[in-house]
């Protein structure tokens, strides 16, 4: 019935929405930043554990739509053991992919995150996918204040 949406709602997204990975409070986090999308009310708290400039653990709490939940869940998996610079580079690639800025992006470069490429056809939903990454960006820059997509 929802054939048209197969690119947007892939099975991986349903899976991460049902069973989000790394969905927990991290008591000994080195970085903790809140992200908020005032348009739809999505909220998340991102926790990072660092070893020098390397992310050794990531987790989150919060509530949001399937796209935003899957995006942050996938992100916490993929950024583990990445350096700050590597994570920032991934953010840029991901951002270009979801906003459709660069149509020639090699989807292999973003690995599993490629399942979120479908949002570029749904401008109203791009922020759902990017909220997690804007929050990560703030955490990497060590900003304390909450992030808003507005």
Find all residues with CB under 8 Å of 89, minimum gap 6, and list them.
Answer: none
Residue 41 vs 111, nearer CB to other proteins? 41
> How many CA atoms does the CB half-sphere of 75 hold within 13 Å?
29
Segment contacting other proteins by CB under 8 A, of 59-67, 96-104, 108-116, 130-138: 59-67
Q: Which of 67, 116, 129, 140 binds other proteins (CB under 8 A)?
A: 67
The answer to whether residues 132 and 61 touch, using CB atoms and an 8 Å cutoff, is: no
What would the DSSP string read from start to end of 52-73? Answer: TTEEEEEEEEEE--HHHHHHHH
How does 26-50 read in b/e, with b if 16+ C-beta sit within 10 Å?
beebebebbbbbeebebbbbbbbbb
Q: Which of 43, 54, 80, 82 binds other proteins (CB under 8 A)?
A: 43
Kindly state whether residue 122 participates in binding other proteins, applying the rule CB under 8 A.
Answer: yes
Q: Which of 51, 63, 102, 144 binds other proteins (CB under 8 A)?
A: 63
Q: Which of 25, 39, 107, 146 binds other proteins (CB under 8 A)?
A: 39
Site residues for other proteins per CB under 8 A: 1-2, 4-5, 8-9, 14, 17-18, 39-43, 63-67, 122, 124-125, 128
């Amino acid at each position: 019935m929802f054939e048209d949406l197969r690119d947007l709602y892939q099975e991986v997204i349903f899976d991460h929405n049902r069973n989000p990975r790394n969905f927990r409070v991290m008591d000994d986090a080195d970085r903790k930043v809140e992200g908020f999308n005032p348009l739809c009310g999505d909220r998340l708290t991102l926790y990072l554990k660092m070893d020098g400039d390397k992310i050794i653990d990531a987790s989150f709490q919060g509530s949001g739509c399937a796209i935003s939940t899957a995006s942050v869940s996938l992100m916490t998996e993929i950024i583990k053991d990445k350096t700050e610079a590597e994570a920032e580079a991934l953010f840029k690639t991901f951002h270009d992919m979801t906003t459709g800025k660069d149509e020639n992006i090699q989807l292999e470069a973003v690995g599993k995150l490629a399942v979120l490429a479908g949002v570029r056809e749904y401008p109203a939903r791009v922020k759902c996918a990017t909220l997690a990454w804007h929050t990560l960006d703030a955490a990497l820059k060590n900003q304390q204040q909450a992030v808003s997509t507005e």
